Structure 1
């Protein structure tokens, strides 16, 4: 029950943050969400559907390599991706400066992802890929996610332009901060980074 509630609330926060704060200014996030946003900005394709389609091969690998990881993550993928597309009408409801949107959007998305990671769910295949590479080859999943996020952001530079690129860096940094804060709490007092 707790897991389902965390996935639902986390997905709602991710979808709201993406649509209210990122889409109006053409910001990118990292990972599969970033690729979904890139395909939306470039081709007009629904980002949530793109995330699902591109994540299917990675989830198929997870199904055969680590079923518990697959089962913990597949719900987060479906719910968050569908909510991203379903809440798209929110993309023309907030009128704030690009910097405010980068910070607020990053916090909203980061809290959502942090809540989901806390119960073992993921929003897309890049997080799953990082976990599989970490377990299979001993790579640090955080470093793999950072590398993948950086590649997505660099790939989007020509699509979103320099100003949106810089604001996307702020947004992704804010996402990372709040994700780490919520996904890895200590059991003693408050939160700490691992």
Structure 2
């Protein structure tokens, strides 16, 4: 599958998950956990004749106009696609599958399930170097004109939305929303870390040459070779070190077991890898 098409497919899946979490758990429970969706919920509460879907469409258009005017062409097609896809899905859910009351009566359950599903979806979207727009645009504007860090700017934007929610839905729901913002951040970071997790492997084997050849020719990965001296044997031996994904490591491990059952293998997880063959900033 074409890499670009695959990326947009993942963005679509992520946007759908975000919409499900918001539409079926957070919105019916009046849990405005920040973001442009929370702002749309507040507008809907103040002006019931304006649906959440319509409010999202108008807010997204306004924010993108502000973004283009103040920041310029800093918004990629993926962000525009994700933003309006999410808005469209929520509009469809809001129009054709409206919920008069939450699926479950327990606010904590609605908060946990809603934030979990939408947080996973946002993590998937962010992992494709995209965002769902909304308060991300506000954060970038604050960053440009007031030199406030992006993370803090996003927190400020969400804090303002949740504070407004306190006046619309009451202080209790606002407190739940604050918790939602916190847990949402943790979930997003965990999802992104899971996608980007790599394996660092060091192999001490008498079949060093064969292992190097397998890594380079069959896994299409690089390797670094060290010469180490054993404390017990007092002999020198080559250590093969390489970084790869989990599927590649399973293949390598099975190969090494086949050619040298006595090979000494050390494995560790790597949260992020930058450079040739991996992501670059």
Counterpart in 2 of 1:83? 89
Corresponding position: 1:21 with 2:25: yes
Counterpart in 2 of 1:48? 53
Counterpart in 2 of 1:106? 115
User: How far is 1:135 from its partner?
Assistant: 5.8
User: How far is 1:72 from its partner?
Assistant: 2.7
Instruction: Give 3-state SS (helix, strand or coil) of 1:25's partner.
Output: coil
Give the number of aligned pairs.
192
Counterpart in 2 of 1:57? 62
User: How far is 1:102 from its partner?
Assistant: 0.6
Task: Answer whether contact 1:106 1:173 (CA < 8 A) is retained.
Answer: no
User: How far is 1:77 from its partner?
Assistant: 0.9
User: How far is 1:27 from its partner?
Assistant: 0.7
User: How far is 1:28 from its partner?
Assistant: 0.4
User: How far is 1:136 from its partner?
Assistant: 6.6
Q: Distance in 1 between matches of 2:189 and 2:54?
A: 26
Counterpart in 1 of 2:153? 144
User: How far is 1:191 from its partner?
Assistant: 5.2
Residues 129, 70 of structure 1: CA spacing in aligned structure 2 closer, same or farther, 3 A cutoff? farther
Q: Which has the higher helix share?
A: 1
Residues 147, 93 of structure 1: CA spacing in aligned structure 2 closer, same or farther, 3 A cutoff? closer
Which has the larger Rg? Answer: 2
User: How far is 1:2 from its partner?
Assistant: 2.1
Which structure has more relative contact order (CA 8 Å, sep 6+)? It is 1
Q: Which has the higher strand share?
A: 2
Q: Deviations over 1:144-176 (max 9, x none)?
A: 010110011111101111221222222222222
User: How far is 1:6 from its partner?
Assistant: 1.7
Q: Deviations over 1:42-90 (max 9, x none)?
A: 2222223322312323323444644352423100111001111212326
Residues 165, 90 of structure 1: CA spacing in aligned structure 2 closer, same or farther, 3 A cutoff? same
Counterpart in 2 of 1:72? 78
Could you tell me which runs of 5 or more consecutive residues in structure 2 were left unpaired when the two chains were aligned. Answer: 199-268, 273-281
User: How far is 1:187 from its partner?
Assistant: 4.5
Could you tell me which runs of 5 or more consecutive residues in structure 1 were left unpaired when the two chains were aligned. Answer: none
Q: Distance in 1 between matches of 2:58 and 2:111?
A: 27
**Normalized against structure 2, the TM-score is what?**
0.61
Of stretches 173-182 and 124-133 in structure 1, the one that deviates more from structure 2 is: 124-133
Instruction: Decide which of 119, 128, 144 is 2:128's aligned counterpart.
Output: 119
User: How far is 1:138 from its partner?
Assistant: 4.6
**Normalized against structure 1, the TM-score is what?**
0.85
Root-mean-square deviation (CA, aligned residues, Å) is 2.4
Task: Answer whether contact 2:135 2:157 (CA < 8 A) is retained.
Answer: yes
Counterpart in 1 of 2:187? 178
